[in-house]
Structure 1
């Protein structure tokens, strides 16, 4: 099972995301590095996990306060083509993907993540696929409810789907495997990724047994809680 490290951007810093309560997010304090500067944190996450993929949530864009264009461009330039960046920047349609990706320029391979919290045009997924982007869909949940649409319409889902339970993010409460199992019943042959709640190697093992192809992990990586063997 893949461990995909997570980087949350807000106000120019990498922040510690907790339970989706974004007004309370503060710059990250990590055991991996002594800064919240995005490129330094990204390099530390990739070095610690050995992962070829980095998930980036541009919370400024998601909150409609402005995308971190310069920081994203710097990440692309610094990480290079060997790294795939899954980017959730509050994309509402395919036009917003093209605009931001064009501004970020060349460098790392960018993959659009369409979060149901923000997506307004379901056709954007097919448009992105037709343009060769291999998009990812994030089925977002918060406060016990599904955010946005598409949760019950698996015909629109791409090959890779994230089950994102925001309440579990940074909460040290374990992964939400009940919601994951419900989505698994609808997913068919798609590759499912979970997000939030992983505390240690035993949580990774439980997620793997539940059928997860991978899991997005932030806090546990920064806290050195997974161990080398779990990340190999």
Structure 2
């Protein structure tokens, strides 16, 4: 099972997530690097895990307090340069509180415009992937529209207090609009050190068919990773355990 590191952005800094209670988020203090500057933290997470993807939660955008398009574009540029040197490709999974396809497409075009001003030479070694979280999604057709536009969208099924957070409520019982990659996000477990929510994961797995499922939240140590892998997860989103070295970064590498 692959570990996918998580970078939470707020007020221009990388912050530590605490149970999805965003008023409690503070600049990250990490054993992996000596700063909360987003680019440095992103590089440290990718170097520690060797992951082919980095998940970014743009909390400024989610809270409608201003997005981090410039930071994301700078990261794309840096990863492009590193990728051309190493031959490796990296996906950036971006959750920026998208409500529908137009909101996603507008932000992606702005990020790509900033990215192009850096004079990056094709082919790009860093790919931007939209993550649509049910916490903010208002139009389930957004996944289909993103796919049709050439993106490879990821759906995040956001749970809080044991319930799926989604509008419209009718979408709860319909899985036909789910894409091929789905995150099972338990917001209460994020940064909690209480272990992964395998019950919720199992319930979604029973509905998901042959879709690729990614878990999120609660990982404390290697035993949790093993349990998550046995649950059928293809990957799991991890942050705190990496920063605190409760999970040996070497064990998180493929």
Scaled by the length of structure 2, the TM-score of the pair is 0.89
Equivalent residue, structure 1, for 2:196:
175
Shift of 1:78: 1.3
RMSD: 1.1
Is the 1:76–1:104 Cα contact (8 Å) retained in structure 2? no
Alignment partner for residue 157 of structure 2, among 128, 139, 151? 139
The C-alpha deviation readout for 1:102-152, integer Å capped at 9, x for no partner, is: 111146210000000011111110000111111000000112221114343
Q: Report which stretch shifted further, 69-78 or 43-52.
A: 69-78
Misfit runs of 4+, over 6 Å: none
Counterpart check, 1:218 vs 2:225: no
* Aligned-partner SS, 1:156: coil
Q: Residue in 2 aligned with 1:57?
A: 57
Aligned counterpart, 1:87: 94
Q: How far does residue 231 in structure 1 lie from its aligned partner after superposition?
A: 2.1
Q: 1:103 and 1:77 mapped to 2: Cα distance?
A: 14
Match of 1:97 in 2: 104
How many residue pairs are counted as aligned between the two chains? Answer: 232
Tell me the secondary structure at the aligned position of residue 104 of structure 1. Answer: helix
Q: For residue 154 of structure 1, what is the aligned residue in structure 2? A: 175
Q: Which runs of 5+ in 2 are unaligned?
A: 84-88, 116-123
1: CA distance between counterparts of 2:233 and 2:193?
Answer: 19
Asked whether the equivalents of residues 135 and 158 of structure 2 are also in contact (C-alpha less than 8 Å), the reply is yes
Task: Provide the C-alpha distance between the structure 1 equivalents of 2:173 and 2:199, rounded to a whole number of angstroms.
Answer: 16
Q: Is structure 2 residue 249 aligned with structure 1 residue 231?
A: no
With normalisation by structure 1, the TM-score equals: 0.97
Gaps of 5+ in 1: none
